[in-house]
Amino acid sequence: MGSILVFGASGQLGQCLAHVARERNMTNLVFLPEAQANILDNNGLQAVFAEHHPTHAINCAAYTAVDKAEDEVDIARKVNRDGVANLSKLCAQHNTILIHISTDFVFAGTGNQPLVETDETAPISVYGLTKLEGEQVIPEFTDRYFVLRTSWLYSEYAGNFVKTMLKLGRERDELRVIWDQLGTPTYAIDLAGCILSIIAGGNEQFGTYHYSNEGVTSWYDFATTIFELSQTTVKTTPIRTAEYPTKATRPAYSVMDKTKAKTQLGVTIPHWQESLRVCISRLAAAEA
């Protein structure tokens, strides 16, 4: 198999891809530093594609500062839409399959049934809007792509909710956590495994897919489970979203249906509590 380019390699998912690639002895992934592979730098991208002739390009690069995006619309759009357009054009030119990571934030989150890929998108934040624009620009240039929408990513790597809760749980006696936003945590190691399985299996069932762990929870129940599994003693108080105002509005319900991913990509998806237990164990082992 030819080379696989990873853009956004220094981020959480990029680091998880490196972790899983090591476990699976996949040596053909090229983890590109941003200085060499900024998705807004067309000349740099062209040089990278010409050098590596990739079979696949995995785009983990994104503007993900949800609240800051409300004030930095142009920057968010450049990264989340224009950068994706740049990659899509080059993938088409080099017959490279694009694997692009998107988000549950493309939905309004006003329903109460698990979201399928064909449900109406209606983002309620600048971040969600620009990520949707990124999804929409891909088929303008290539039909050889996978879009994977995911949610509530965490892992042992980079900053995320699990690591923040563990830190705050050690520092404070009480935490107030939102209970009226429902979704599914996703262990980024599992998502990385899904991506590499698509590639290793030669899958060409192109299109848009949902991938999160199984099950449903609130941020409050997610936090209390983190504390239970890590044996962290801290009082947790459930609060409504209105009691914790943020610049950007979050979807109230973003549980995604993964039937399409399981049937067409052939992936097995663990329950979120099972994967959280693995992550907590690995974090504890790293601290020992």
Our answer to whether residue 220 is catalytic in this structure is no
Question: Among candidates 186, 175, 277, which has minimal Cα distance to 230?
Answer: 277
Q: What contacts 168, CB < 8 A, 6 or more positions away?
A: 175, 234
The residue annotated as part of the active site, out of 63, 127, 220, 253, is 127
CA–CA distance from 43 to each of 7, 39, 52, 274 (Å)?
A: 15, 10, 15, 44
Residue 11 is given by DSSP the state: S
For 99-168, give the DSSP string.
EEEEEGGGS----SSPBPTTSPP---SHHHHHHHHHHHHGGGT-S-EEEEEE-SEE-SSSS-HHHHHHHH
Question: Among candidates 252, 9, 211, 16, which has minimal Cα distance to 112?
Answer: 252
Residue 95 is given by DSSP the state: T
Tokens 């309004």, residue located? 108
Burial of residue 147, with CB atoms counted within 10 A of its CB: 0-12 exposed, 13-18 middle, 19 or more buried: buried
Q: Would you please indicate which residues are annotated as catalytic (active-site) residues?
A: 127
